Amino acid sequence: MKPDPTRVAQANNVVSLSPEAISRAVELLRQGQVVGMPTETVYGLAGDGLNPTALARIFEVKQRPFFDPLILHFADEAGAFAVAENVPETARELGRRFWPGPLTLVLRKKEMVPDLATSGMPSVALRVPSHPVAQALLRAFGGPLAAPSANRFGRISPTDAQAVRAELGDAVPLILDGGPCAVGLESTVLLLSERQPLLLRAGGIPVEEIEALVGPVQRATPVEDRPLSPGQLKHHYAPRKPLRLVRHASEVPSQADAGWLAFGNPPTLASFAGVVENISPGGDLREAAANFFRAMRQLDENERVTTLYAVPLPAWGLGLAINERLERAAG
Ligand code: TXA
Ligand code: MG
């Protein structure tokens, strides 16, 4: 087979971890450019968190509305808490336990954080990712990196470098390839003020684990017009094709053009006439989370499939976070 020159050229901005790749990424970031960064949750579109030009570029590349604030990523807890005002003891406790990892804390911001990062809100979202490539980049850069998920606004979050490439194309000069994301769902977002902690987004750390450490966590009820966490609009994580949520496996129609985002081993699966992506045949929620976005993307891209189907997962642990995304993806 002859090599396809367009394909080689296309893949040029995807590079694996090396000292040169990190230096190149840091150079681009210092110039106010954006870089694709792997994290343990999903891939991020990273830019200098303290440079308004870089922040504007992130919004532009993602086609994200300016009312939706960004998460600032840090190499360690000390760096994260340094940009927050009146850090409560609960935040420190959560940081000690879950950082580095898939938890984002929303705290009162210090003056130095640009308004563009927080959409003018008095609070800022902070996270310390554990992925070794994110860690290497943050340490080499030496400051906070703003990084939303590296998809166009409202679409499926990318969990590998090629998915970033497919979503954002040439708009990103460099995408660091850190392999498939181990967690596969975005971080859990928790608002900490004087009152009870408030869950703004279910995510990679099950809320039960947070409650075991700091006591009851209040659940935010999504409001379409003025959401407390602006990113939590009702329609999000959306495939191009319609996704139908049904209550039981028996309600997934056995049609050739149906794409089933399956979980576990329901009896009707064996005779199903459509295309199956099983996110965890053994019924494991962590495995399901890790495969979720990739499976949805694959069904969306499969030419045989016209409609996607899914049944909500067990409503505990990461199942809650997956269901929240399924509901939004179904609109
Ligand atoms: O796992 C993750 O969190 C990934 C990786 C790349 O770190 N990032 C991510 O970013 O999911 P993004 O921008 O797709 O989602 C950030 C969420 C949005 O729902 C946003 O509205 C919310 O965090 N958020 C950010 N700052 C906030 C603030 N000050 N108050 C309330 N919500 C905030
Ligand atoms: Mg996102």
> Would you say residue 223 has pLDDT above 90?
no
Pairing of strands 243-245, 307-310: parallel
Q: Cβ(274) to ligand 1 under 6 A?
A: no
Q: Residue 263 has which token pair? A: 């979980």
Nearest atom in ligand 1 to the alpha carbon of residue 151 is 14
pLDDT confidence of 8, banded at 50, 70, 90?
very low
Per the CB < 8 A criterion, the answer to whether 176 and 25 are in contact is yes
pLDDT confidence of 224, banded at 50, 70, 90?
very low
What is the pLDDT, as a whole number, of residue 181? Answer: 98
% of the chain residues with pLDDT over 70: 92
pLDDT confidence of 150, banded at 50, 70, 90?
very high
The predicted model scores a pTM of 0.92
Distance 264 CA to ligand 1 centre (A): 30
Nearest atom in ligand 1 to the alpha carbon of residue 204 is 1
Distances (CA, A) of 173 to 16, 27, 28, 36, 47: 14, 11, 8, 8, 12
Kindly report the protein residue whose alpha carbon is nearest to atom 19 of ligand 1: 231
Ordered DSSP codes for 311-326: -PPPSSTHHHHHHHHH
Distance CA 107, CA 210 (A): 16
pLDDT confidence of 56, banded at 50, 70, 90?
very high
Distance 157 CA to ligand 2 centre (A): 6
What is the pLDDT, as a whole number, of residue 31? Answer: 98
